[in-house]
Amino acid sequence: MKTASDTIVEALNGLAPRIALVLGSGLGGLVKSVENAVHVPYETLEGFPQSGVSGHAGEVVAGTIGGKPVLLLSGRVHYYEKGDAAAMRPVLEVLQGLGIEKLILTNAAGSLREDLVPGSVMLITDHINFSGTNPLIGEETDKRFVGMTSAYDAGMRAAIEQAAKAEGVAIDEGVYMWFSGPSFETPAEIRMARIMGADAVGMSTVPEVILGRFLGLSCAACSVITNYGAGMTGGELSHTETKDMAPIGGSKLQAILTRAIGEME
Ligand code: HPA
């Protein structure tokens, strides 16, 4: 059987991307930025876990953005789907094996700050792992002791900030706190997260950044804010709201990342 790597190499048709982009809930619109796109469904890729979450497409897209070769992963599997924090490890290992050096992650997130309004974009500067788990549990080599002091690459962050400025799109900065999900947080948990120094909460990205750093990839991540955290405005949260709201900030993020990727080293 053809390996996932062989199939992606075929789809790349001679391109040698160094950058990969993972698209979160409702952010599939970014696929439209890819020129000469070749779509490879996860089900044809050996070892690629399928996400069962609505709003996640489940395909690798090979092509170029702003002339730069790139691999997009539209859809990701989450810890809360099977209880496996390392669910994305085989995928990230394939990317690394293909020569990917930079990993850009995107997600939908809840805001913990009144001034970080739904529809805005937040560049993640750091994270708090509040899930109680870690994707490297069970790893047996000393490589498991991954330094996380500069998990979010300064150069990539600067490129994203610059691209936002050039596009005239506002971008905030903040700390992302990983809750396991899939239930949303309670108002008390949101108050706690604010006190603990988080700016946004979500159910993804942190395990991939830990795995990415483990694999030697430079990482950057952006959140599209889809709602205020539970209890901040009174209403009940829902996945429908996440999917409906994500494309609003998603189109801003598309403009930012399209330029940033085109200009990244
Ligand atoms: N909490 C957790 N994950 C989320 C949220 C939220 O409020 N919004 C979008 N993803």
pLDDT digits (tens, 9 = 90+) for 63-99: 999 899 999 999 899 999 999 999 999 999 999 999 9
Cα 71 from Cα 144, distance rounded (Å): 26
Whether the predicted model's global pTM rises above the 0.85 cut:
yes
Residue 234 has a pLDDT of 80
Out of 54, 117, 177, 237, mutate this one to test ligand 1's pocket (max ligand atoms within 8 Å of CB): namely: 237
The structure tokens listed for 126 are 């750091």
The Cα–Cα gap between 69 and 115 comes to 36
Decide: 190 in ligand 1 pocket, CB within 6 A: no
Ligand 1 atom having least distance to the Cα of 242: 9
Atom of ligand 1 nearest to the CA of 229: 7
State if residue 237 touches ligand 1 by the CB under 6 angstroms criterion. Answer: yes
**Distance, CA of 178 to CA of 113 (rounded, Å):** 16
Cβ of 201 less than 6 Å from ligand 1:
yes
For residue 59, pLDDT beyond 90: yes
**Tens of pLDDT, residues 173-187:** 999 999 999 999 999
Residue 165 β-bridge partners: none
Q: Which atom of ligand 1 is nearest to the CA of 230?
A: 7
Helix, strand or coil for residue 227?
strand
DSSP assignment of 8-73: HHHHHTT----EEEEE-TT-GGGGGG-EEEEEEEGGGSTTPPPP-STT---EEEEEEETTEEEEEE
* Nearest-CA residue for atom 2 of ligand 1: 202
Helical axes 154-167 vs 239-263, angle rounded to 10°: 100
Rounded to the nearest 10 degrees, the angle between the axes of helix 4-12 and helix 89-97 is: 50
203 lines ligand 1 (CB under 6 A): yes
Query: Ligand 1 centroid to 108 CA: how many Å?
Result: 7
Q: How far does residue 80's CA lie from ligand 1's centre (Å)?
A: 13
pLDDT of residue 56: 65
d(CA 151, CA 212): 9
Query: What is the pLDDT confidence band of residue 21, given thresholds at 50, 70 and 90?
Result: very high
Question: Does residue 25 carry a pLDDT above 80?
Answer: no
The Cα 229–Cα 121 span in angstroms is 15
Hey, whose CA ends up nearest to atom 7 of ligand 1? 110
CB 78 within 8 A of CB 193: no
Identify the burial level of 153 via C-beta atoms within 10 angstroms of its C-beta, where 0-12 means exposed, 13-18 middle and 19 or more buried. buried
Between CA 250 and CA 227 the distance in angstroms is 13
Tell me what pLDDT residue 10 has: 94
158: three-class secondary structure by DSSP:
helix
Distance of CA 182 from the midpoint of ligand 1 (Å): 9
Phi, psi of 112 (to 5 degrees): -110, 0
Q: Does 193 sit in the ligand 1 pocket, CB within 6 Å? A: no
> Alpha helices, DSSP H only, in the chain?
4-12, 79-82, 89-97, 154-167, 187-195, 206-214, 239-263
pLDDT tens-digit profile of 124-168?
999 999 999 999 999 999 999 999 999 999 999 999 999 999 999
Verify whether ligand 1 is closer than 6 Å to residue 108 (CB atom). Answer: yes
